[in-house]
């Protein structure tokens, strides 16, 4: 059984370290086996492609590569600053994630 990650698809995250430090973006996908996430507009690499139906001329294409989740922090929707994530049971008995930075502990969607 794999452990739960503090980041999931659709979260807005900020990069803590590396060449893209300080950039914000939305998580497009998460690879739990490798502990990596693909973030929109972060860690762009050049990929050489042959001509195909999608790219008829081929050439060099910029696309996002995976970034380790330890270099990412979720952005608090209330304050807009990086925050740590906690988990708790709400009134309905459902496990929800919440921002530890904001005082009212708003649920993270």
Q: Which domain holds residue 3?
A: 1-75
Which pLDDT does position 43 carry in this prediction?
A: 93
Mean pLDDT of the chain: 88
Same domain, 41 and 84: no
The pLDDT of residue 29: 96
pLDDT reading at 13 higher than 90: yes
Q: Are residues 65 and 33 in the same domain?
A: yes
Nearest residue to 69 via CA among 97, 32, 40: 32
Closest CA to 99 of 4, 22, 46, 82: 82
Q: Judge if 59 and 82 occupy the same domain.
A: no
Residue 98, pLDDT score: 86
**Tokens 């459902």 correspond to what residue?**
94
- State percent of the chain over pLDDT 70: 93
Give residue-wise pLDDT tens across range 71-106: 999 998 888 899 998 888 888 888 888 888 875 555
């Amino acid at each position: 059984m794999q452990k739960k990650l503090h980041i999931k698809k659709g979260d807005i995250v900020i990069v803590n370290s590396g060449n893209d430090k300080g950039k914000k973006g939305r998580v497009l996908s998460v690879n739990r086996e490798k502990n990596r996430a693909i973030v929109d507009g972060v860690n762009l690499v050049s990929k050489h492609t042959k001509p195909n139906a999608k790219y008829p001329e081929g050439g060099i294409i910029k696309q996002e590569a995976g970034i380790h989740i330890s270099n990412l922090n979720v952005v608090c929707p209330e304050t807009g600053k990086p925050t740590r994530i906690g988990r708790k049971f709400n009134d309905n008995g459902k496990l929800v994630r919440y921002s530890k930075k904001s005082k009212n502990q708003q649920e993270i969607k």
